[in-house]
Amino acid sequence: MRKLIAIIILIGLGVTLYFYIGKKLENNDKETGTNGLIEEMIIPQAKDNYDGLLKKVRKLQENPDQLAEFNCMITKLMYTGKQSNEEIALLLKLQREYYSEETLNNNPEDVNLERLLEELEKYKTANYTIMGYKVIGPQFVDAEAGKKPVLIFNVIYYMNVTTKDLGEVYKGYVYEQNAEKLWELKGFGSIEDFSIIN
């Protein structure tokens, strides 16, 4: 009987350890994917040390996969319905730091913020929030000689509500490498639904 209890305890400890380590590795993967930046700390870091956070973002711009992951993290933070308008403005300012010059010119900051706040108000009224996301990509775009390299990442945003009319949101993001070899967000928009095959 004692041996049976000891075996059950050992199995229980083993299972607990397995899930604990698995969760730690998952968190480390997310942190590694965004150069140590974690979702819960973005707003506090932006408020306390914007320049320090901006240095980390510039480092992310060296790797398009990390920048795409970070961009989705910022978008998710904006669409949780928990942030104040001031925090949304701060997140948008941070996001605009890696927009291409063309994108900045086409989206003046005041207009960009106004449109975002209007959209977020609609989401808040409908109690519609982003719960998670999955980044698919990159897709390489053949660039002509002398042109800047371009990549496309597709993203599925998982929402808290799924009905016939509401559900996942599918977005496409176009990233372009600038002269300093940093990746910038050149464009974005809604795309057709697609399925994921693992």
- 36: phi > 0 → left, psi -120 to 50 → alpha, else beta; which? left
The SS3 assignment for 96 reads helix
Residue 77 lies in a domain: yes
Query: Chain-wide mean pLDDT for the chain?
Result: 84
Q: What type of residue is 103?
A: T
Residue 64 lies in a domain: yes
pLDDT band at residue 31 using 50, 70 and 90 as cut-offs: very low
Phi first, then psi: what are they for 144, rounded to 5°? -70, 160
pLDDT band at residue 32 using 50, 70 and 90 as cut-offs: very low
Residue 175 lies in a domain: yes
Q: Say what the pTM is.
A: 0.76
d(CA 156, CA 127): 19
CA angle 128, 134, 139 (to 5 degrees): 130
pLDDT digits (tens, 9 = 90+) for 81-107: 889 999 999 999 999 999 999 999 999
Q: Look at residue 28 and tell me whether its pLDDT is greater than 50.
A: no
d(CA 67, CA 177): 12
Structural domains counted in the chain = 1
Please give the radius of gyration of the chain, using alpha carbons only, rounded to the nearest integer: 20
CA atoms within 13 A on the CB side of 167: 6
Q: What is the token pair recorded at 166?
A: 């509401």
The position carrying tokens 């973005």 is 42
Q: What percent of the chain has pLDDT over 70?
A: 81
pLDDT digits (tens, 9 = 90+) for 41-69: 899 999 999 999 999 999 999 999 999 99
Q: What type of residue is 123?
A: Y
More confident residue, 132 or 167: 132
Residue 42 lies in a domain: no
Domain residues for 82? Answer: 48-190
- 146: phi > 0 → left, psi -120 to 50 → alpha, else beta; which? left
Q: What percent of the chain has pLDDT over 90?
A: 47
Residue 36 lies in a domain: no
pLDDT at 9: 85
Residue 163 lies in a domain: yes
pLDDT at 62: 94
d(CA 54, CA 42): 11
What strands, in cross-sheet order, belong to the sheet with 183-190?
A: 130-141, 150-159, 169-177, 183-190
pLDDT at 145: 63
Partners of 184 in the β-ladder = 176
pLDDT band at residue 111 using 50, 70 and 90 as cut-offs: very high
CATH number reported for the structural domain that contains residue 82 in this entry = 3.10.450.50
Query: For 119-138, what is the mean pLDDT?
Result: 89
pLDDT at 29: 46
d(CA 86, CA 84): 5
pLDDT at 146: 66
